[in-house]
Chains A and B, each alone.
Chain A
Amino acid sequence: MSSKILTEPRIEDPDDFYARLIAIHEGLNSEESQQLNSKLILLMANHIGDREVLDEALDIARNVQP
Chain B
Amino acid sequence: MRYVRQIYPFNRPAELDSEERTHVPVIIVGAGPIGMAMAVDLASHGIRSIILDDDNKVSIGSRAICWSKRALEVMDRLGCGERMLDKGVTWNLGKVFFGERKEPIYGFNMLEEKGQQFPGFINLQQYYVEEYLIEAIEKQDLTDIRWESEVIAVQQSNNGATVSVSTPAGHYELDCDYVIAADGSRSPVRKMLGFEFDGETFQDHFLIADIRMKAEFPTERWFWFDPSFNRGQSALLHKQPDDVWRLDFQLGWDIDREAELKPESVSKRIRAMLGEELEFDFEWVSIYTFQCRQMERFVHDRIIFVGDAAHLVSPFGARGANSGLQDVDNLGWKLALILNGKAPASLLQSYNDERVSAARENILNSTRATDFITPKSEFSRIFRDAALELARDFEFARRFVNSGRLSVACIHHDSKLNVADLDVFNCKLVPGSPSIDAPVKVNGSQSWFLKLIGQQFTGVYFAKDGETTLQGATALLQDSIPVKTIVISNTSETETSVVEDHKGLLQQRLDAQVGSYYLFRPDQHLVARWRKFDPHAVREAVLHATMQPASGDSA
Interface residues of A (CB under 8 A from B): 7-11, 14-15, 18-19, 21-22, 25-26, 28, 30, 33, 60, 64-66
Contact = CB atoms under 8 A, between A and B. Distances in A.
B395 A9 contact: yes
Contacts of B385: 66
Q: Is the interface of A mostly helix, strand, loop or mixed?
A: loop
A28 B387 CA distance: 21
Contacts of B371: 19, 22
Contacts of B405: 15
Contacts of A25: 377, 379-380
Given A18-B400, A25-B377, A25-B379, 7 more contacts: A7-B395, A9-B398, A14-B399, A22-B371, A22-B379, A64-B390, A66-B101
A9 B399 contact: yes
Given A15-B365, A22-B383, A30 B378 contact: yes
Given A15-B365, A64-B389, A66-B389, A8 B379 contact: no
B389 A65 contact: yes
A6 B54 CA distance: 58
Contacts of A19: 368, 371
A21 B399 CA distance: 14
A8 B396 contact: yes
Interface in B352-390: 365, 368, 371-372, 375, 377-380, 383, 385, 387-390
Interface string B147-169: 00000000000000000000000
11 contacts: A7-B396, A9-B395, A14-B399, A18-B400, A22-B379, A22-B383, A25-B377, A25-B380, A26-B377, A28-B379, A66-B98
Given A22-B380, A28-B379, A30-B378, A15 B368 contact: yes
Contacts of B396: 7-11, 14
Most B Cβ at <10 Å: residue of A21, A25, A26: A25
B368 A66 contact: no
A62 to B, nearest CB: 12
Contacts of A9: 395-396, 398-399
B218 to A, nearest CB: 24
B368 A21 contact: no
A65 B394 CA distance: 12
Nearest to A26: B377
B402 interface: yes
B188 interface: no
Contact of B399 (A11, A26, A30, A65): A11
Contacts of A33: 379
Contacts of B399: 9, 11, 14-15
Nearest to A36: B379
Given A25-B380, A33-B379, A66-B389, A14 B400 contact: yes
Contacts of A21: 383
Contact of A30 (B368, B379, B383): B379
B315 interface: no
B393 A64 contact: yes
A13 to B, nearest CB: 9
Contacts of A28: 379
A28 B101 CA distance: 32
Q: Which 8 A-B pairs have the closest CB atoms?
A: A14-B399, A7-B394, A33-B379, A9-B396, A25-B379, A66-B389, A9-B399, A18-B400
Contacts of B398: 9
A61 to B, nearest CB: 8
Given A7-B394, A10-B396, A66 B99 contact: yes
- Most chain B CB within a 10 A radius of its CB, from A26, A28, A66: A66
B386 to A, nearest CB: 9
Contacts of B365: 15
A16 B122 CA distance: 28
A52 B390 CA distance: 20
Indicate the member of B365, B379, B387, B394 with the most A CB atoms within 10 Å. B379
Contacts of A30: 378-379
A3 to B, nearest CB: 11
Interface string B231-248: 000000000000000000
A28 B390 CA distance: 25
